[in-house]
Chains A and B, each alone.
Chain A
Amino acid sequence: MKYVDEFRDPEKAKMLIDAINTITEQLEVSQQRPLQLMEFCGGHTHTIFRYGIEQMLPKSIELVHGPGCPVCVLPMGRVDDCVALAERPNVIFTTFGDAMRVPGSKKSLLQAKAEGADIRMVYSPLDALDLARKHPDKEVIFFALGFETTMPSTALTVLQAEQECIKNFSLFCNHITTVPTIKAILDSPDMKIDGFLAPGHVSMVVGTRPFDFVAETYKKPIVVTGFEPLDILQSIWMLLQQLNENRHDVENQYARIVPENGNEPAMDALTKVFELREFFEWRGLGSIDHSGVKMREVFAAFDAEQKFSVPNLKIADPKSCQCGEVLKGVIRPWECKVFANQCNPETPMGALMVSTEGACAAYYNYGNLDELLQKKEAVNA
């Protein structure tokens, strides 16, 4: 398939793996301890597991799977709010499919749907707006979720609704931002990450400059990375090059998509509709300042949180979950106390088991579970 197969060429992969092996052998630090490289984005995590990239890398490189899966990091209290909105009479609640299974404190959206709430899966906020046009007697609420990647499409949908004077459409806004979260990880005292693969599609919107602080302030190399398997391998090689040359720069591997300054019309729409929240709660990481956005006051008519009351309760993560430590690379997913026993994809307890993009779910689904459980036993013994 054109524009896909070129980025999955096994011959080129072999060349990159050879280059990665060579450079890793030259790196002094990798002789003493494993190098930890973090891919922030859940899309990268998915590619890494789907193509078996981890097993292709030298043992001295450890990939740490970061918090960039918006479905995973959604706190339980917000899921409860979704359920409360969806269970209101005369509401059609629309959501991306992935979010249906995220557990709330009592139930997920999937369970609420089974109990009779009108919850529909959509692939774009514009589909939700279309439902609002078709059902003028119902309130159509869109569960807005995701990083800067999905923010512009939500913002443009709100602007479209405003232009068409559609009054029965609103957003339950749970959009989150990348930069404060990477900063929170970098500020964490137990952080051991040597370099970052920056999210390619977030960068397509915001550009590469917002990541300058990683290189300048924290002196860590960072490479904006695409989502095909060759993109990932090339970016890992670029990070290793930087480490080998003692550089810490922001580099752009995904230049075919990501302009340095991002996408101006998208940023305009985003800024017009949203403003930063003072803080936002993350499952696994706790509260992070300025890590979420809300709708500006002028768009209150489209804001489900202002239009309807939501319980807005803070529900603590289950104590036994170690998602935070996994997200920061302090422990590996399979080292978590509840991995694969109490916490599994059927009954996820922690953030990272929820979506297929979550690190724990990826290990559970694609890893060699028997081997991992043996390793876990050995560690605990």
Chain B
Amino acid sequence: MSGRPRYAALVAFVVAAIAVLAIFPRVAQPYYVTLVLPAFAYAIALLGFNLLFGTTGLLSFGHALFVAIGAYAAAVMTSKLGIKSFELILVVAGAVAVIAAVPVALLAVRYVRIFFGILTLAFGMLFHSFLFKFYNLTGGDTGIRVLRPTLLGQDWKELDKTAFLIGPFYYACLVLAVVLGFAMWRIVRSPFGLHLAAIRENARKAEYLGVRVRLFRLIAFLISAFYGAIGGAILAVNTGQADPELAYWTHSGELVFMTVLGGFANFFGPLVGAFTFIFLKSELMGATQYWRFFLGATLAVIVIAFPRGLMGLAGDLWKKAVRR
């Protein structure tokens, strides 16, 4: 198959997926629509996460730090400062995350492999214990409420909470996911993205070829922090709460879980992973109180038997079908 028809098929597929997501609130039960919101949030956060993991080859086990920063930015702005504009919240959340990521990244990019993972975990837990212990500033374990933001200046007062979330807010998130997804698509395919892939494949060789390895890792880290915070802000508006658990290392673990579930080697893997994870978790939680066990078992099966995730599996099946 040559490049162009394949590209056209991809575009058609993406457009179809967006169309399905666009009509989803009109046809599905509200409960399922509210599930798509965290899936959007995680999809955006994971696009950033996978720029580090899938593209650059750095496994962060503390990425929930940036999700939490985004959530707390939304909480502080709506509850404490009275700023309700969602657009402004996104800008501030992203900016704060990038600023906070600078010292973390400066330290972390000196390491690779498991050491990078542990160091990022350390920073995540540092922030978690700050959120958890400094009650006066952060609300401690209960966190801070997130009030309903305005979208493009409109406050949607006539809608109740669910109607707001599955109505205007849903579409705002869809637009964000599409825009940020397209931006990431371009980033990964830009010379910058190719540099990152070269670093992943062989950092030393890339360095000999003149790639400024640490600088590029640093920039990738900052971009991924930005995406994480946008995801966190959406997540917080959806739940109406920002709490310290968002920064806990197990939440970071869930981010990695989702990425591997969908397939980190594929651009769309994290997106598929986010949606699958959210629906799987919700179904399991409805079915049994031991949902963690089955979630863990799913992860074990994926890791052992399908390391390339659902997208890898789909790719294999597709190839088989085409060959026949």
Partners in one complex: no
User: Measuring CB to CB, which residues of chain A are less than 8 angstroms from any residue of chain B?
Assistant: none
User: Measuring CB to CB, which residues of chain B are less than 8 angstroms from any residue of chain A?
Assistant: none
